[in-house]
Amino acid sequence: MTHHVTRLGGRRSALSVPPRLKFPGSHRRPRRVAMLSVHTSPLHQPGTGDAGGMNVYIVELAKRLAAINIEVEIFTRATAGGLPPVVELAPGVLVRHVDAGPYEGLNKEDLPAQLCAFTHGVTQAWAGHRPGHYDLVHSHYWLSGQVGWLAAERWRVPLVHAMHTMAKVKNAALAQGDTPEPAARVIGEQQIVRAADRLIANTAEEADELIRHYDADPGRVAVVHPGVNLERFSVADGRAEARDRLGLPQDAFVPLFAGRIQPLKAPDVLLHAVAVLLDQDPSLRSRLVVPVVGGPSGSGLAKPEGLHKLAAGLGIADVIRFHPPVGQDKLADWFRAASVLVMPSYSESFGLVAIEAQATGTPVVAAAVGGLPVAVRDGVSGYLVAGHDPADYARALRRFVDEPGLVDRMGAAAARHAQGFGWGTAASATADVYTAAMHEYRRRVRSHHG
């Protein structure tokens, strides 16, 4: 993927990828951006609670923006008492803890009631600065968008918003037993789409969904592919060494699930697929290890032991290994050690995990949903599966079992493919979006006052 900024032209038009946007000298980049991440702190470990790909996205993007001289201050909700009000995450990146509601026991669904308190905290932090301290507000996820809308208006700066996931899209592809997103969220998202000066989508498909489901103005939607930390997620010393470190047998076939344990991510589909594989070939049992790395989240919290019970019920508990969430460096080792990463998600705005795994030289078997067809090159760096029938996943996994060289061959292609998704590219594309939003905002203000 050479061009990482897509501008959408006429109404509901097909997406084209013109050359990189060029801005004349008068269109300056922002000096300082207020980033809002209400429900998940950039300091939390991904894979725990509601922390996931979005945390990684915000941390990496902020660091790379700071590296190109755009300071970032990230506002997030304090989830424990006694946290320092400000933490330096990296040079040029500050995390500001805002008191909003009780520290413990609030899940994502309770947070809309705390948005007023959060907005109060954000505007209080701003009150200590001179006017013009922030050039722009960049909000992540709809809860932050609600606060960003108000803050941007109050500070008289443009609002750039990234949805990350959308209620209407999630509700159109619900996993069995999953809870639909509430109407309040749909309304909140529609308000943000109208208020934002720019909407950043992860993929062309997401941009299309914003236009189709939320009637977004195509001229305000820009596509910026998320990046991955290619220093951390690298082939490094290879599969054998990673297996040694994690205590995995060298000759095992290891299909890995890594992510939050919730119906949306569909780890149950992998378990059913493994049962199908073992039915077809019982001799596989002695060399099959299936790690499930992650913690329960969202609607998965209601029955955290559900997956253990399913494994027992399917008679495959002996080959499944449950592991709690791990830090990013350890996660990179799990990716290296795996034969293949399996992502049967029902909805995935981008699927960063797929790029991270490929960057370590591991192919991916994924559902053909959301951003995964961009993240995975079907037939080259892995296989895309239409739908969620375990037999189809078993068939894809079977190819790797039957053809010994396939893991290494696809793995090498996967590592090459992932090189196109560095964070430096994503940050400079995001900076271009900021610059366009500021230019347009100033022009609008001038014409309004003219």
pLDDT at 298: 66
pLDDT digits (tens, 9 = 90+) for 151-196: 999 999 999 999 988 899 888 878 788 889 999 999 999 999 999 9
Q: Helices 141-155 and 183-195, interaxial angle, to 10°?
A: 40
pLDDT at 52: 63
Query: Known binder of ligand: residue 265?
Result: yes
Query: Known binder of ligand: residue 46?
Result: yes
pLDDT at 237: 85
Read off the tokens for 199: 């909407």
More confident residue, 69 or 5: 69
More confident residue, 200 or 19: 200
Segments of 121-158 assigned E as strands: 136-140
Q: What is the mean pLDDT of residues 263-277?
A: 94
Query: Known binder of ligand: residue 55?
Result: yes
Q: What is the mean pLDDT of residues 258-285?
A: 94
State the chain's mean pLDDT as an integer.
88
Burial zone of 251 (CB within 10 Å; 0-12 exposed, 13-18 middle, 19+ buried):
exposed
pLDDT digits (tens, 9 = 90+) for 319-348: 999 999 888 899 999 999 999 999 999 988
Please check the confidence at residue 316 and state whether its pLDDT lies above 80. yes
Segments of 91-216 assigned E as strands: 93-98, 136-140, 159-162, 198-201
- 215, amino acid identity: D
Q: How many CA atoms lie within 13 A of 440 on its CB side?
A: 14
Q: How many CA atoms lie within 13 A of 191 on its CB side?
A: 16
Query: Smallest Cα–Cα separation from 201: which of 349, 354, 10?
Result: 349
Q: How confident is the model at residue 22 (pLDDT cuts 50, 70, 90)?
A: very low
pLDDT at 299: 64
More confident residue, 218 or 175: 218
For residues 88 and 291, give the distance between their C-alpha atoms in angstroms, rounded to a whole number. Answer: 35
Query: Known binder of ligand: residue 335?
Result: yes
* Contact predicate 98/76, CB 8 Å: yes
- 343, amino acid identity: M
pLDDT at 126: 80
- DSSP character at residue 47: T
Query: Known binder of ligand: residue 69?
Result: no
Please check the confidence at residue 13 and state whether its pLDDT lies above 80. no
Query: Known binder of ligand: residue 326?
Result: yes
Query: Smallest Cα–Cα separation from 397: which of 274, 275, 221, 301?
Result: 274
Query: Known binder of ligand: residue 338?
Result: yes
For residues 147 and 144, give the distance between their C-alpha atoms in angstroms, rounded to a whole number. Answer: 5
Please check the confidence at residue 5 and state whether its pLDDT lies above 60. no
Please check the confidence at residue 6 and state whether its pLDDT lies above 80. no
Query: Known binder of ligand: residue 53?
Result: yes
Please check the confidence at residue 88 and state whether its pLDDT lies above 50. yes
Please check the confidence at residue 106 and state whether its pLDDT lies above 80. no
Please check the confidence at residue 17 and state whether its pLDDT lies above 90. no
Q: How confident is the model at residue 45 (pLDDT cuts 50, 70, 90)?
A: low
Please check the confidence at residue 34 and state whether its pLDDT lies above 80. yes
* Contact predicate 352/373, CB 8 Å: no
Sign of the alpha-carbon torsion through 311, 312, 313, 316: positive
Strand (E) or helix (H) holding 14? none
* Contact predicate 158/119, CB 8 Å: no
State the residue for tokens 């399913």: 310
Strand (E) or helix (H) holding 201? strand 198-201
pLDDT digits (tens, 9 = 90+) for 416-444: 999 989 899 999 999 999 999 999 999 98
Q: How many CA atoms lie within 13 A of 98 on its CB side?
A: 29
Size of the chain, expressed as the number of residues it contains: 450
Q: How confident is the model at residue 24 (pLDDT cuts 50, 70, 90)?
A: very low
pTM across the whole model: 0.75
Q: How confident is the model at residue 297 (pLDDT cuts 50, 70, 90)?
A: low
pLDDT digits (tens, 9 = 90+) for 365-396: 999 998 899 899 999 999 999 999 999 999 99
Query: Known binder of ligand: residue 141?
Result: yes
* Dihedral angle computed from the Cα positions of residues 63, 68, 71 and 74, in that order, rounded to the nearest 10 degrees: -30
Please check the confidence at residue 401 and state whether its pLDDT lies above 50. yes
More confident residue, 106 or 2: 106
